């Protein structure tokens, strides 16, 4: 019958936790910006977060990130000591990076996206390292006041075999809350529009 009914029938027996979306490309871009700013390797940066949508409203968050300097893990914000940049140019550069690449090359960043897909699926299957988390769009369970049921990018830890859990207890200030709500609102608008289109297709 109609495409929407077929989709519902096909996915009915699949656990909702088996559906994730890719924000690893954005996370990789955020790590690259931070590594460049600090003059270190990308591999020395960990626990950068992408909250929300894979769009211009996403919230790249470095406040909970760490960096390895001289063999010692330390808070990235302390090492960088540039809160103004973290709240401005860092965010907007990551948010607009895809558009900037297309404008410069006339093509999307296909290889970067392919690497991000590999990173995403590797961590989803083999799990995250001890003390580290990654960003992944998953079904919200109400964490951080993001309404349950919508796919939203959160920081997650993953056990080998694919069981993910949203990282809990990360403190949010007013600035972060505003950014997180803005990207949620966009996702909710998209969900509403998708439901409307599905209903029209079934008529």
**Active site positions, annotated:** 54
Neighbours of 169 (CB within 10 A): 6
Residue 169's alpha-carbon distances to 48, 85, 127, 129, 144, in angstroms, are 15, 25, 20, 19, 9
Structural contact between residues 85 and 62, judged by C-beta atoms closer than 8 angstroms: no
Q: Mapping DSSP to helix (H, G, I), strand (E, B) and coil, where does residue 158 land?
A: strand
Q: Which tokens in the block code for residue 85?
A: 């940049």
Q: What letter would DSSP give residue 43? A: G
Task: List, in sequence order, every beta strand (DSSP E) within 134-181.
Answer: 134-139, 151-158, 164-166
b/e map 34-61, b = 16+ CB within 10 Å: bbebbeeeeebbbbbbbbbbbeebbbbb
Residue 51's alpha-carbon distances to 1, 5, 67, 81, in angstroms, are 36, 31, 20, 22
């Amino acid at each position: 019958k109609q495409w929407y009914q077929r989709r519902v029938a096909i996915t009915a027996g699949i656990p909702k936790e088996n559906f994730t979306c890719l924000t690893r490309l954005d996370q990789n871009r955020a790590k690259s910006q931070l590594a460049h700013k600090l003059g270190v390797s990308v591999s020395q940066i960990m626990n950068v977060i992408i909250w929300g949508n894979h769009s211009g409203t996403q919230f790249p968050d470095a406040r909970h990130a760490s960096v390895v300097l001289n063999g010692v893990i330390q808070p990235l914000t302390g090492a960088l000591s540039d809160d103004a940049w973290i709240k401005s140019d860092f965010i907007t550069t990551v948010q607009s990076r895809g558009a900037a690449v297309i404008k410069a090359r006339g093509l999307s960043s296909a290889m970067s996206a392919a690497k991000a897909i590999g990173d995403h699926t590797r961590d989803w299957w083999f799990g995250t390292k001890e003390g580290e988390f990654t960003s992944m769009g998953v079904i919200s369970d109400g964490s951080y006041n993001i309404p349950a049921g919508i796919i939203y990018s959160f920081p997650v830890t993953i056990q080998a075999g694919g069981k993910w859990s949203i990282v809990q207890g990360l403190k949010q200030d007013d600035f972060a809350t505003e950014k997180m709500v803005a990207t949620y609102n966009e996702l909710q608008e998209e969900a509403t529009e998708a439901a409307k289109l599905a209903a029209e297709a079934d008529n």
